[in-house]
A and B are shown apart, each in its own frame.
Chain A
Amino acid sequence: MKNIDDDLLNKYLDGELSSEEQQLVKTEIEKSSELKKKFDFLHQVHTVLNNLELESPNQDFTNLAMNKIRKKNSAVRQQKYFLFTILTLFGITILGITGYLFYQIIFSIQSNQSTEIVTKYFRGFGNYISDIFGSNNLSLFSSVLSFILLLSGYFLIEFKRQIKKKFSH
């Protein structure tokens, strides 16, 4: 009797052997009652494992999972809208300040009907910039901008924390 070990029997069961090896194992199984018994038990295990029952999670599992996904999607969307709103507000503030500056400059240019309009335009612009950023106004604008940035940062962190909290439960 050839030495047919457990590994070879398993490979025979799974059809992993070459046709010659397969024939050899088959012959040995037919010859030896002990080996046949061993293989029969292995085959029995294989059959039971093939019929293992599937177990299912909670009936509502799919709905619960989809709800979590929907909530997450809406949170991401809200986060996008929030960022968009903050950036828009920030943009509008900057635009407002710039617009106000240009309005003041153009107004001053229009009031001077001289031929040296271009020179005055640049001089006027320079003066305004130095007036605004050279005086107390600079600290006022900086304060407003810093306040907006801090406020946005706070809300953003708070918003993210709430989302995290929501999904950890």
Chain B
Amino acid sequence: MKMKNLSDAEIIESVRKGKTADYSILIDRHKSKSYSMLKRMLKNEFEAEEVLMDCFLKAYNNLATFKNESKFSTWFYKIVYNTALTRISNTKRKIESEMTSIDDLHFLHSKYQADELVNEDIPTLVKKIVSELPPRNSAVISLFYLEDMSIDEISESLQISVANVKVLLHRSRNLLREIIEKRKVLQEVL
């Protein structure tokens, strides 16, 4: 119980001293958020779980190289993001992800039929579209909204520039806004 109140840095110190079991607290603390991000990036729950397992093992094996200069979550999400990208590039989805670059989000505009847009409520629709965003966009959305990371932290985790993080975030949000606007227009027409 007392251990659960410790910071990530303190738990890491304890694991480094030989208390391997304490690592389970770190897993419990970060598994849901990172799983949500991976599921959105990989679009497959089994693969997401498999990659997540890999990430926690990688993080454990490299715990000695972790410096307390940044937060554990920033360091861990770097592992998660890179492992997910490697998995994507190893599968056929490489072609798909290349096709759906940040400038090519409009495929989601035309994907939904009018009746589908009108009948779905907004939260469900937004969640559906978020789960279909290209990997980089969904990673930024997950870290910004689920992990409450700042733009700078996301930039450090994903190793992309601050400007690019903003572009990915704004474009994803604009796309969602445009679809909701379209839904409103369709509701009025129908």
Q: Which of B32, B57, B127, B142 contacts A72 (CB 8 A)?
A: B57
Instruction: Give A95-137 interface residues, CB cut-off 8 Å to B.
Output: none
Complex contact B49–A68 (CB within 8 A): no
Q: Which residues of B contact A54 (CB under 8 A)?
A: 32-33, 36, 146
Complex Cα gap A57–B45 (Å):
8
A10 at the interface (CB under 8 A from B): yes
B166 surroundings in chain A (CB, below 8 A): 10
A40, B39: Cα distance in complex, Å: 29
CB-based contact A42/B57 at 8 Å: no
Closest Cβ of chain A to B121, distance in Å, is: 10
| Contact partner, B170, options A7, A41, A44, A51, Cβ 8 Å | A7
Query: Mostly helix, strand, loop or mixed at chain A's interface?
Result: helix
Interface size class of A (residues with CB under 8 A): 20 to 34
How many residue pairs link A and B with beta carbons under 8 A? The number is 95
Query: Which residues of chain B are near A73, meaning CB under 8 Å?
Result: 20
Question: Chain B's interface: helix, strand, loop or mixed, by majority?
Answer: helix
**Interface assignment of A49: CB less than 8 Å from any CB of chain B:** yes
- How near does chain A come to B172, taking the closest CB pair, in angstroms? 9
A69 near B57 with CB under 8 A, answer yes
Contacts from B to A (Cβ < 8 Å)? 20-21, 23-24, 27-28, 31-33, 35-36, 39, 45, 48-49, 52-53, 56-57, 60, 122-123, 126-127, 130, 141-142, 144-146, 166, 169-170, 173-174, 176-177, 180-181, 184
